[in-house]
Amino acid sequence: MISIIDYGLGNIRAFSNMYKRMNLDATPVSSVVELRKATKIILPGVGAFDHAMELLEASGMRETLDELVLEKKIPVVGVCVGMQILAENSEEGSRPGLGWIKGTVRHFRSEPRANGLPLPHMGWNDVRPLVAEGLFDGLGEDARFYFLHSFYFDCAREEDAAARASYGVDFVCSVTSGNIHGVQFHPEKSHHYGARLLKNFADL
């Protein structure tokens, strides 16, 4: 079962509706009992890094998520802030992230080449996959996705970068490390490109 973590952030219904159109089961979960049935996990998120971590901790699902993802190797994809909290920390706040993928979330203003650009980075943008399989199977360099963010994931290890985009500066917009994946953009708002990526995740 594809389980969508419902901890108070993210467009849960949009993910459910997109999978419903594919005739695939994707169910919101908000308790440990429900979460333990997961065979795939979607970790959505919007808003601020610290707030997301606070809500996730308060949900009571944090320890079970660590167990399922790190020990049982259940595939997971973080979306938008759900991707950012995969990191160790963020310039946006003071709380530690999940630390599942080594790196720091940085503000575009920390990059001089992005100074003066409107923030948040909002709208459609080209995505350049660095790997031709996994989430990006069948998605070439013409793939476009919808973004809404002011921070980006600065990977500690280049091999964890799965795709890049440009907004004043070239930045990582997708990460992959084993069973752990993340996308900065919103596949649930990205029409057929997003549907293909979510189907690829279901097929992992």
In a structure prediction context, what are the per-residue pLDDT tens digits for the chain, which is 204 residues long? 999 999 999 889 999 999 999 999 999 999 999 999 999 999 999 999 999 999 999 999 999 999 999 999 999 999 999 999 999 999 999 999 999 999 999 999 988 887 789 999 999 999 999 988 899 999 987 899 999 999 999 999 999 999 999 999 999 999 999 999 999 999 999 999 999 999 999 999
| Side chain identity, residue 135 | L
Q: According to the model, what pLDDT value does residue 115 have?
A: 76
From 92, 173, 181, 188, active-site residue? 188
**Of 80, 121, 149, 173, which one is the catalytic site residue?**
80
Token reading at 9: 């952030």
Catalytic residue flag (residue 149):
no
Per-residue pLDDT at 141: 77
CATH class label, 2-203:
alpha beta
Catalytic, 186? Answer yes
35-59 burial, b for 16+ CB within 10 Å, e for fewer? beebebbbbbbbebbbbbbeebeeb
Whether residue 201 contacts residue 181, with contact meaning beta carbons closer than 8 Å, is answered with yes
Contact 98, 86 (CB under 8 A): yes
Q: What is the pLDDT, as a whole number, of residue 140? A: 83
57, 181, 186, 192: the active-site residue = 186
pTM reported for the whole predicted model: 0.96
